[in-house]
Chains A and B, each alone.
Chain A
Amino acid sequence: MGRGKTIARRSFLIGSAVVLGGVAFGTYLVKSDPENPLAQNAGAGDAVFNPWVKITGSGITLVTPHTDLGQGVTAMQAMLIAEELDVELDQISTTPGQPAAAYYNTALAAEAVPFRSNDDGFAASAMRETMGAVMKVLGAQVTGGSTSVPDSFDKLRHAGAVARETLKAAASAETGIDAGQLKTERGAVVLPDGTRMDYTTLAAAAARMEPVTDVPLRDPSQWRLIGKSQQRLDTLAKSTGTQVYGIDVKVDGMVHASVRSNPRKGAPMLGFDATAAEGMRGVQKIVALPYGVAVVADNTWRAFRALEEIEIDWDVAPYPAEQSGHWAAVAASFTSERLDKEWRHDGDVDAALDGADVLTAEYRAPYVAHQPLEPLSAVVRVGSDRVDIWAAHQLPRFVQQRVAKRLGIETAQIHLHNQFAGGSFGHRLEFDNIDIAVDVAREVPDTPVKLTFRREEDFAQDYNRQIGMARGRGAHAGGKVTVLDLDIATVSASRSQSKRLGAPVPGPDTQIPAGAWNMRYAIPDLRVRAYAVPELAPTSSWRSVGASTAGFFAESFLDELIHAAGADPMEERLRLVDDDDARGVLEAVAEMSDWGGPLEAGKGRGVALVTSFGVPTAEVVEVTATDAGIRIDRVWVAAEVGRVVDPVTFENVVAGGVIWGLGHAMNSEITYSDGRAVQDNFHMGEGMRLHQCPVIKVRGLENGVTVRGVGEPPVPPAAPALANAIFAATGTRLREMPFFRTVDFV
């Protein structure tokens, strides 16, 4: 299908509005939802307007509401608008704007995802996976689920095109020259005689025009920016130490604070003795909270130090105190009562296994913390008629609504100044930093409070990735894999997370089997069942969510079956694969890695193919078994994304996803003892360090019809490809993450 036909008819309406000194182009959202806080002052049928492009006499501002977590979305959003607006990236400034319903993430809402008539059930299935349980609930201004690109791709180009054509119409009205004879370039309308009329000078006139909304989007062959390498907007600032992150925000009169919450997460604080802390230098206030104690001081370190001097009595954990209890709960969940859903059953697995030579295996995946390098922080000022929050958050509207509820005030009084984040990986979908900063700031009214988590507190309070196990049964015949039966039991991170959002998700959790049930293989007898372990320690979305565990289980067990059948791991996958996009990425990594070519002694290669967030991604990992342990030498990765919008960021983020997947599979876990997370800083679970980093070759394939994001899909294949490579090199099969429990790494 040609891409020209794939422009979806969206339910949004692009229009324009007069703003001080100029014009804004953006989205009208008709008030249909009485809960919509931004429309509170609007009557039924009134429209609330939110801009994407603002042009005044003094400049051009592009609004980029997706939160920049390091994945480059600010630059990507600006690029999409600029492509159609005909401005260069050095002519504009960007702002995340205020959170608003009009920045509704269309890619996350199932009904807004255009299914094409030629999509068979399988493609539809892949899409259902994307629409994970949590994602449905979060159908709002969300950055997550690798959706920023698909959400923005048409919408922002359209906003840019409407602005461009309206500015041309304004120039036409002013000069009497037919709009068809006008061109646009570098932020100006160009008349046939070469005269330039800057957008900034046309802004006031454009504000009075009826916006030109029936604008076709340009053919990809005309693109100047999309798909081309260029300098990311934030590269200069991030190379010179001038990028400001949430933790760096300074507000006049600001004080510093830090907190210790019950490390037995979710349990209350019973009592404390702060005598030793009270007289310490710089300490301004000790704040008792239901869940812990905070110190307000004139310097972050003084707050940290005072916290250490406070004796606190904690209640017991609302989950098993010891790690063995967590594993026991998982192991006990492979029962018909805990069956969340049988997600797939091709053929007849029970009949096929009956009497066969059955291979069985059991796998484990631990809790893992997010721990982006920037610790959690938030600056909050609670004033008498407004509350200001400076923090980086993936769910800005939820932040507003939540804080309004917490303080018993109107949502419109909450002003969130969303910041650049020093990483997230799902961490900034949770609200502890916001809630606590608000609780502390209300104790010192009108004073901005910067709350900073100590790294140890950040580890202790993280909402980790789901813990889980899988049990596989399978068989082969005639050198081929014939039966694969996989039971997966994990806690439901989606339910844990959505419960905290106050929006429990009905129905089975799509994330428990994500990356496994949708495997793009035609195995004659294939079954995938998901079991929901009752909630233990609270969990949340961790980069690639369910696929980071289920993908490991599925691709490891398939590899075991292939080896048992005596087949080649790549050839057998290529024989089994039943989807063009998935075959494409497998063939790509086979070619890139020269799979089947000669290998030196001690080396081994593994391959894995996992589809998550609609993106089939294949990876080949090559390792050497050295005397000092496993060394990861090279990785080849190919992902089918439909369209590589920003090649420089694409390569960086895909390689980073591989490193994330490998590093955590190597050495990262959270275990519990005495109800507390044992691992409390980067000396215990550091992920990958530079000396361990392989050479990584990245390829983006552009055959698919849908443009997709790639923040998460490179993660799930990394762990199984590594385990499969280690098996090839050493004969040791790794069935439990982290792998350093079984093998050493160089």
Chain B
Amino acid sequence: MKLMVNGREHEVDVEDDMPLLWVLRDELGFTSVKYGCGIAQCGACTVQVDGIAVRSCQLAVGDLDGDVTTIEGLGTPEAMHAVQQAWVDHQVAQCGYCQSGQMMQATSFLVLNGTPSDDQIDAAMSGNLCRCGTYPRIRAAIKTAAAKLQGA
């Protein structure tokens, strides 16, 4: 089957019920997409499908209907997205394992709500676990990114 990832078409030969997570990681080599729980509890596997954040561990690749964006599609170290830049400015990461998922969630959320309140940030981000406890910086980085995206 064919799928679009970060604007490029990929062909894979896999079962329909293989979760998108494992197609991306093991078949296509996008290891920025992380396995954390496999049951929609941690958000480490978050990617976007047509701009909407989804848990790739829960989406069977056969049910995929849209273009996939991973963190590499958001921006690169040389040309970062405003959300990634805010993550750098606030030095959010500790181990960093959750952060690709956090940023994919935050970016999708900021498209839907460009001027979020604190409560809205809390509600949108609470499905993404960070075992290192970087939540204060995630909140701050989202506010910085929101302001920058509004100004842009």
A interface with B by C-beta (< 8 Å) = 69-72, 231-232, 234-245, 247-248, 250, 256, 281, 299-302, 304, 371-375, 420-423, 425, 452, 454-455, 648-649, 652-653, 655-660, 663, 681-683, 686-693, 695-696
Between A and B, 19 residue pairs with Cβ closer than 8 Å are: A231-B88, A234-B96, A238-B95, A239-B92, A240-B77, A241-B32, A241-B70, A242-B72, A256-B26, A301-B18, A372-B131, A373-B130, A373-B131, A375-B36, A659-B135, A663-B133, A681-B37, A689-B127, A690-B121
Q: B77's contact among A236, A248, A649, A659, by CB below 8 Å, is which? A: A236
Q: Which of B70, B122, B129 is the one whose CB lies under 8 Å from A687?
A: B129
Please judge, given known A-B contacts A238-B93, A663-B133, whether A682 and B41 are in contact too, CB under 8 Å.
yes
Which of chain B's residues have a CB closer than 8 A to the CB of A231?
Answer: 88, 91
| Chain A nearest CB, measured from B11 CB (Å) | 16
CB closest residue in chain A, given B83: A239
Given contacts A455-B36, A455-B37, A682-B129, contact A693 B135 (CB under 8 A): yes
Residues in chain B near residue A241, CB distance under 8 A? 32, 70-72, 100, 103
A238 to B93, CA, bound (A): 6
* Complex contact A681–B95 (CB within 8 A): no
Minimum CB–CB distance for A67 against chain B, Å: 11
Question: Do most interface residues of chain B lie in helix, strand or loop, or is the interface mixed?
Answer: loop
Say which residue of A244, A652, A681, A687 sits within 8 Å of B31 (CB atoms): A244
B35: contacting residue among A232, A235, A452, CB under 8 A: A452
CA distance A214 to B41 in the complex (A): 56
Shortest CB distance A359–B (Å): 34
B126 and A689 contact, CB distance less than 8 A: yes
* Cα–Cα distance between A39 and B87 once the two chains are bound (Å): 45
B135: nearest residue on chain A (CB-CB)? A693
Query: Is B34's beta carbon under 8 Å from chain A?
Result: yes
In this complex, what residue of A is CB-closest to B27? Answer: A299
Q: For the complex, give the distance between the alpha carbons of A232 and B133 in Å.
A: 17
Bound-state Cα–Cα, A386 to B137, Å? 44
Would A250 and B96 count as touching, CB distance under 8 A?
no
Residue from A239, A248, A420, A690 within 8 A of B126 (CB atoms)? A690
Contact across chains for B35 and A239 when beta carbons are under 8 A apart:
no
User: Shortest Cβ distance from B146 into chain A, in angstroms?
Assistant: 16
Q: Does B138 contact A (CB under 8 A)?
A: yes
In the docked arrangement, what's the CA distance between A659 and B138, Å? 14
Nearest chain-A residue to B21 (Cβ)?
A301
Alpha-carbon gap, A302 to B122, bound state (A):
36
Is B7 interfacial (CB 8 A cutoff)? no
Q: A423-B131, A454-B38, A663-B133 are in contact. Are A240 and B76 (CB under 8 A)?
A: yes
Instruction: Report the 3 A-B pairs with minimum CB-CB distance, sorted nearest first.
Output: A70-B95, A422-B97, A238-B96
Q: CB-nearest residue of chain A relative to B96?
A: A238
B15 within 8 A of partner (CB): yes
Give bound CA distance, A686 to B41, whole Å.
Answer: 9
CB contact list, B1-57 vs A, under 8 A: 14-15, 18-19, 21-22, 25-27, 29, 31-32, 34-39, 41-42, 44
Given contacts A301-B22, A423-B95, contact A240 B84 (CB under 8 A): yes
Contacting residue for B134 out of A375, A656, A681, A691, CB 8 A: A656
